[in-house]
Amino acid sequence: MSSPRKSTDSKNSPERDLGEDLARLHCLQALFPDWTGDDVFLLRQMKDSIEESIRQQPDTPDTYEVFSELATCLRGSSGTSVPASYAFIRIDFSNRTWDPLFAQQEIARELKKHAGTEQIFLLVKNLRQALFPAAKYKTRLRESAYLEATRFIDELTRHWSTSSSRIHLLYL
């Protein structure tokens, strides 16, 4: 038996990859934990609805930033605020090179600000681009450097977060 409305495929847009789809789902989980709980079906339905709203506006690009803004607006228009037990931290390495001291300062500052928060979602974007701005190919050396940088961020996050916080790290 087929449904009258066909569901949309989240991979319609070729420029978006699985990592960005996961980031969108995690964003929704951080913003709407009281609405969805751990129900992935509801998260996907919300994600598809917001993406459809973006597609209906021809001048609006289908980017993560636009998606998260619309999701935040949806949360704000619901009359209830984001639960205090959730935090969403975005660290973007676009247009800069990798500097461990800068990363340490930024991550420590953000985690201190959200100390005691039950669930923290930390999104790290464009780390590979910051490490290798002109790189076109993956090599063993580059992959090793990338893994070392992610381990460094993992350790920083572990060190600067409180023991009662659950950290969700996602690298895009």
Query: What is the pTM for the complete model shown?
Result: 0.59
What's the mean pLDDT when you consider all of the chain? 80
Q: Are 36 and 46 in contact (CB under 8 A)?
A: yes
pLDDT higher than 70, residue 78: no
pLDDT of residue 16: 60
pLDDT higher than 70, residue 55: yes
Q: Are 7 and 41 in contact (CB under 8 A)?
A: no
Within a 10 A sphere around the Cβ of 101, how many other Cβ atoms? Answer: 7
* Mean pLDDT, rounded, for 42-57: 88
Q: Are 90 and 125 in contact (CB under 8 A)?
A: yes
Which residues are CB-contacts of 34 (< 8 A; sequence separation ≥ 6)? 80, 83
pLDDT of residue 134: 83
